[in-house]
């Protein structure tokens, strides 16, 4: 099911305290993606929450930049 992205909210964070000592000081990104489902009558908007580490975020950013480049090439 294809959805249209309406808005994206993001937060960077650093883990300050955890029961796993090795995780203290790690960085993460939280994304809230608001998407239009296109289904009339169900509120149509859906919130999608994603959390990833910094390496995963940079990988996602790279893929989005490649997609933007492909779309610019086609138009």
**pLDDT at res. 41:** 65
Query: Rounded to whole angstroms, how far apart are CA atoms 34 and 3?
Result: 10
Rounded to two decimals, the pTM is 0.71
Domain residues for the domain of 19 are: 4-74
pLDDT value at position 39?
Answer: 73
CA distances from 55 to 3, 6, 9, 25, 28 (A): 26, 25, 19, 14, 9
- Whether 33 and 4 have beta carbons less than 8 Å apart is answered as no
Domains in the chain: how many in total?
1
Residue-wise pLDDT tens digits, 3-53: 889 999 999 999 998 898 888 989 999 999 999 988 776 668 999 999 999
Question: What is the Cα–Cα distance from 62 to 60, expressed in whole angstroms?
Answer: 5
Task: Give the pLDDT confidence score for residue 47 in this predicted structure.
Answer: 94
């Amino acid at each position: 099911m294809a959805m249209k992205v309406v808005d994206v909210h993001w937060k960077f964070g650093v883990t300050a305290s955890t029961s796993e000592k090795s995780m203290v000081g790690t960085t993460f990104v939280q994304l809230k993606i608001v998407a239009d489902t296109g289904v009339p009558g169900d509120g149509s908007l859906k919130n999608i929450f994603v959390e990833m580490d910094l390496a995963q975020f940079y990988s996602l950013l790279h893929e989005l930049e490649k997609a933007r480049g492909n779309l610019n090439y086609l138009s």
